[in-house]
Structure 1
Amino acid sequence: MSYSFRIRPATSRDAAVAAQTLGRAFADYPFTRHTVDARDHQDRVLALQRLFLAEIGLRCGKVWVSDDVAAVAVWTTPLSTGLDAAFGEIAEQVTDLYGDRADVAARADEATAHLRPTDPVWYLATVGVAPTSQGRGLGRAVLEPELAAAEDHGRAAYLETSSPANVAFYERLGFEVTGSVSLPDDGPKVWAMVRRPRTAAGRVS
């Protein structure tokens, strides 16, 4: 069976629906379950996704969606500006949304810090497909524009995942595992993955 869909850059008008898509996609994600308060967990995950989309993805990075916003991918890139200020502005809200898992989330971030590349990379912050739309190739499709951009600039793409099934999916897209860590506080395992450019003759401008 073949499917037809269009992938396009997101706008601010997509933020609410895109957050809903990501909230549903991450409802039982191991990392999110570990780092976000179990009380009103789904509402907190939705609020975190909405905040990140509006203040980081749309403001500083790149956000791609399917035309029906059933698939969403959020990136930051070496071309992104204002990230430090944007993260600083939302830090208190993020901590509040983590709730009683805020310290756990902080330790998780510290535990994964050594996995991240020191060179500028295309960083896949989050990607999700609504459960009812999975199996149509939307996950791959919504990632392709920025994977191509990273390739054009001769830069690697980087991500972290706590889902073993995701590891296999990203390997099919050309990523390879470069490290892993089991999170403290009885947390899940996190894999770091890099997709290296096929040619080093790129540019960043």
Structure 2
Amino acid sequence: MGVAIRVAGEADRERVVRLLDEAFQDDPVSNWVFPDPAQRRAKHPALMAAFTDVVLAEGRIDLAEDGSACALWLSVPAGGNHDGDGDGENGRGDGADEDGPAQLRAAVDPDNERVELIGRLTAGIHPEGRAHAYLWMIGVTPERQGEGLGGALIESVLDRCDREGLAAYLEASNARSRALYERLGFALAGHPLDLPDGPRMWPMWREPRPTGRTQA
């Protein structure tokens, strides 16, 4: 699928935040973090804004030119570990501060321990040792989901990973996204993460392909 993609900048911040908020309002992990719908509507945008700010500062946001989809990537160096702040392909963390999850909770929703817990749990399963590209989040506006936009955004980075011999990693937060990632060459890495009284997440790893091509 041909999708015009560009790298988002500070001027795109509000657009990206709105897109992520809309895309993940009904996501299983977001629903676990904010089980009350009214609380989710009130607090979820701030969580997405915090994630967006981290990646604008430390990583890369690929944005469909029409604003219908975006992918948030972080580069994890060899030997580096990643301290999570958020949820699944629905958000992890900044990797810069051991107190990141606690700081995120304080900034977004101090009374909600799950804002902090999700970051600590996902950080605990994040692979260490090898350099890799980390797909922190990918969001598609609800009315455009199912059109292949997410796959197109991911493939553009995976092609580069293949050329550079770089692995990629993510956590899938639902069965539908897991199936997409498997088609793109990701495989389960270790054991799934079962959130307390919540949904399952799947850590997934992709080795670079020598051909430099992906198959969807």
TM over 0.5: yes
Provide the TM-score with structure 2 as the length reference.
0.78
Structure showing the higher helix proportion among its residues: 1
Instruction: Give the counterpart of 2:71 among 70, 73, 81.
Output: 73
Aligned to 2:160: 149
Aligned to 1:203: none
Q: How does 1:13-92 map to 2 (within 5 A)?
A: 13-36=11-34, 38=36, 39-54=38-53, 56-78=54-76, 83-85=94-96, 92=103
Deviation at 1:136, TM superposition (A): 2.2
Residue aligned with 1:52, SS:
helix
Q: How does 1:95-106 map to 2 (within 5 A)?
A: 95-102=106-113, 104-106=114-116
Aligned to 1:181: 193
Conserved in 2, the CA contact under 8 Å of 1:74 and 1:126? yes
Deviation at 1:115, TM superposition (A): 2.4
Aligned to 2:127: 117
5+ residue gaps, structure 1 = 200-205
Instruction: Give the counterpart of 2:117 among 107, 110, 119.
Output: 107
5+ residue gaps, structure 2 = 78-93, 211-216
Q: Is 1:12 aligned with 2:23? A: no
**How many residue pairs are counted as aligned between the two chains?**
192
Deviation at 1:4, TM superposition (A): 5.0
Letter aligned with residue 137 of structure 1? G
Shift in alpha-carbon separation, 1:197–1:4, aligned structure 2, 3 A = closer
- Give the alignment's Cα RMSD to 1 decimal: 2.5
Shift in alpha-carbon separation, 1:84–1:158, aligned structure 2, 3 A = closer
Deviation at 1:33, TM superposition (A): 1.4
Residue aligned with 1:45, SS:
helix
Instruction: Give the counterpart of 2:147 among 128, 133, 136.
Output: 136
Deviation at 1:148, TM superposition (A): 2.2
Shift in alpha-carbon separation, 1:177–1:84, aligned structure 2, 3 A = closer
Deviation at 1:67, TM superposition (A): 0.5
- Write out per-residue CA displacement over residues 91-120 of structure 1, whole angstroms, 9 at most, x where no aligned residue: 535434244332x34333444444211122
Percent identical among aligned pairs is 32
Conserved in 1, the CA contact under 8 Å of 2:105 and 2:115? no
Provide the TM-score with structure 1 as the length reference.
0.82
Aligned to 1:198: 209
